[in-house]
Amino acid sequence: MGRVVVGVTVTVAVAACAVAAVIVGRRVKSRRKWKKVANVLKELEDGCDTSVGRLRQVVDAMAVEMHAGLASEGGSKLKMLLTYVDNLPNGTEKGPYYALHLGGTNFRVTRVHLSGQPSPVLEHEVERQPIPPHLMTSTSEDLFDFIASSLKEFIANEGDGSNTSQDRRELGFTFSFPVKQMSVSSGILIKWTKGFSIVDMVGKDVAACLQEAFARKGLDVHVAALVNDTVGTLAVGHYHDPDTVAAIVIGTGTNACYLERIDAIIKCQGLLTTSGRMVVNMEWGNFWSSHLPRTVYDIELDAESPNPNDQGFEKMISGMYLGDIVRRVILRMSLESEMFGPISSKLSTPFVLRTPLMAAMHEDDSPDLIEVAKILNDTFEILDLPLKARKTVVKVCDVVTRRAARLAAAGIVGILKKIGRDGSGGITGGRSRSDIKMKRTVVAIEGGLYSSYTLFREYLHEALNEILGEDIAKHVTLNVTEDGSGIGAALLAASYS
């Protein structure tokens, strides 16, 4: 009997040891999995470093590239395009003005009513209309006749009792395709993008094509300004606040423009303007510098994009790309560890994680991160992810967003440095900050990434304060504007009519 008891005891002990070994083994294996995930996260954090020292290097690089782009055509990754806009609206404009915006598969018609005095809210009406797909590959005459007919109908339906026979109307035309601007109201189409392919229009003046369509439709409408949407944002900002010197658009894509002294535009010597200044369209999405913190995910995204080695800055800071950078990091973590479960094909699909969804995960403040779990399930078919893993995903979103916002802030300070509004006296200034009296400086900013994404906005402001220092930063204001491509174009039509 004693032997039986001893045998049973030994068997139980062996079984207990086996169970314990399995548990310990699982814990060790789990720790190894998490260590791999933690290593991927640490590598990302190091690669996305945006210390103040590095941001100031980006500021200097931006200012130097701006200077080079103004000195000669092709002298910089920044195109520094002349807009011929030297007269920005100031609130004294009066009357109804119109805008057309052609920027993709839809176009918009806008009418703005100006009272002759600055108003915080501008009365306006907007109508959106899709472009029929066949017109995107037809002829320039077909496309612009369709747009002119739509404008004619919009005018005929005006609620103020006016009709198509009233005095000539002035219009701003926002044309969001690559154009070489020839004057404030003319520009040559360089190439089509966004699915358009109307061969007979390349090399033609787009404003003249629209003007001819108005004539064919019996419309007495004058194209007073051919506008880039970022310049429109500056126009809206300047209308509301005359201290506005630059504008940033940061949404799906990103760009910037600013007011430059004519004598600083070396590549166009002899050009004269009444104000002595001109708005320069930077096309800053193409900015590049070795000081930008680039990771393996950025390199892969760029290589697989339709435009490799192009728009490098935009690919690091704009809404089009942030969600996909996060997706690439989650995919790497899934390949390194089984903690994310089986890898679905969706996780390998580029741009399946849109930036608004990434922002929703980043800003999920529920204790169990319910929204994070839902988005991962709906987007990537990742089920039952542990809370620890969900927190890791939020951290990835934070690292990517923080880098983007801080780099955008460095870009803004780069512009301020170039025009001597950063407290340093400008790119060639040698004076100390204590010698400089700072002017109030306003930057107009438009785009959902800034206006709708709270954490992005907070990180951008934090970086501005760190780079400039609080004494200088208090003189710089970022003003949110809306509809530069519509209201802004109409305001510029008012300025130039």
Tokens standing for residue 430: 């040698």
- Identify whether the C-beta of residue 389 lies closer than 8 Å to the C-beta of residue 398: no
Pick the catalytic residue: 86, 145, 205, 229? 229
Distance CA 35, CA 465 (A): 35
Choosing from 86, 108, 145, 364, which is the catalytic residue?
Answer: 108
Rg (CA), the chain: 28
How many Cα atoms sit within 13 Å of 57 on the Cβ side? Answer: 12
- Residue 229 annotated to the active site: yes
Which residue among the candidates 176, 289, 305, 344 is catalytic per the annotation? Answer: 176
DSSP code, position 440: P
Can you point out the beta strands (E) in 184-253? Answer: 186-189, 221-227, 244-250
3-state secondary structure of 390: helix
**Residue 283 to residues 56, 165, 411: CA-CA distances in angstroms?**
21, 40, 12
Q: Whole-angstrom Cα distance, residue 422 to residue 464? A: 10
Verify whether residue 108 is a known catalytic residue.
yes
Closest among 279, 286, 269, 396 to 334, alpha carbons compared: 396
What is the chain's length? 497
Q: Is-contact 111 125, C-beta < 8 A? A: yes
> Distance of CA 92 to CAs 8, 184, 227, 259, Å?
99, 20, 20, 20
Residue 86 is among the residues annotated as catalytic for this protein? no
Query: Is 94 within 8 Å of 288 (Cβ atoms)?
Result: no
Give the H or E element holding residue 137: none
Residues recognised as catalytic = 108, 176, 229
